[in-house]
């Protein structure tokens, strides 16, 4: 009889407390909470500045952003996101869980899983621009400073996820 090796993960309660402490430290050190969508915005603006400089000079959105952010890639949010990516990579490597594979339900193909992941990411990015921040910035950081908007955002995020889970669960279960 073969022994099944159980994957060990970090305790989620300790992880939640540590995330809260990081959020608290970010507020004290930088005067701001955490968030990732600002880093993506900086990368998009920098790309447009490089690829289509005339468009960046004439489009109101890019023009206004460039006036207030002379070098978008020197934002602390960019370095925060790079730290998250490097930290996640190192964590996976040290725990010997670093694998390049597409995880999905046996009921769907890898191609479908990738398409839904990309579509979900695009909707998330669009929504974060409409909401003026991602879930980390709007909900977690908002709740950390006891903002009513932060609590409403978190309720909307989980409420929407609960309502839509039934329709999309077959892609993962």
For residue 121, pLDDT over 70 is answered with yes
Predicted TM-score (pTM) of the model is 0.69
b/e per residue 105-135 (b: at least 16 CB within 10 A): eeeeeeeebeeeeeeeeeeeeebbeebebbb
Helical (H) or strand (E) element with 26: helix 12-30
Distance (Å, whole) CA 109 – CA 112: 5
Q: Domains of the chain: which residue ranges?
A: 1-100, 102-173
Give 2-14 pLDDT, tens digit per residue: 566 676 777 889 9
Q: Which two tokens stand for residue 169?
A: 């669960």
Q: What is the pLDDT of residue 40?
A: 83
Give 54-102 pLDDT, tens digit per residue: 999 999 989 998 998 888 898 888 888 899 899 989 988 888 888 888 8
Angle at 110 between CA 106 and CA 112, to 5 degrees: 100
Mean per-residue pLDDT, 104-115: 85
Burial of 43: CB neighbours in 10 Å, binned 0-12, 13-18, 19+ = middle
């Amino acid at each position: 009889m073969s022994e099944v090796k159980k994957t060990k993960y970090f305790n989620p309660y300790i992880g939640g407390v540590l995330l809260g402490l990081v959020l608290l430290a970010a507020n004290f050190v930088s005067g701001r909470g955490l968030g990732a969508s600002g880093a993506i915005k900086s990368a998009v603006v920098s790309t447009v500045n490089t690829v289509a400089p005339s468009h960046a000079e004439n489009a109101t959105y890019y023009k206004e952003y460039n006036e207030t952010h002379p070098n978008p890639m020197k934002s602390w949010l960019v370095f925060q996101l790079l730290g998250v990516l490097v930290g996640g990579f190192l964590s996976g490597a040290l725990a010997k869980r670093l694998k390049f594979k597409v995880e999905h339900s046996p009921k769907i193909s890898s191609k479908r899983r990738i398409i839904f992941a990309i579509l979900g990411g695009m909707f998330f990015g669009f929504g974060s621009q409409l909401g003026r921040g991602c879930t980390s910035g709007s909900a977690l950081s908002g709740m950390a400073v006891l903002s009513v908007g932060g609590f409403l955002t978190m309720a909307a995020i989980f409420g929407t996820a609960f309502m839509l889970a039934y329709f999309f669960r077959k892609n993962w279960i």
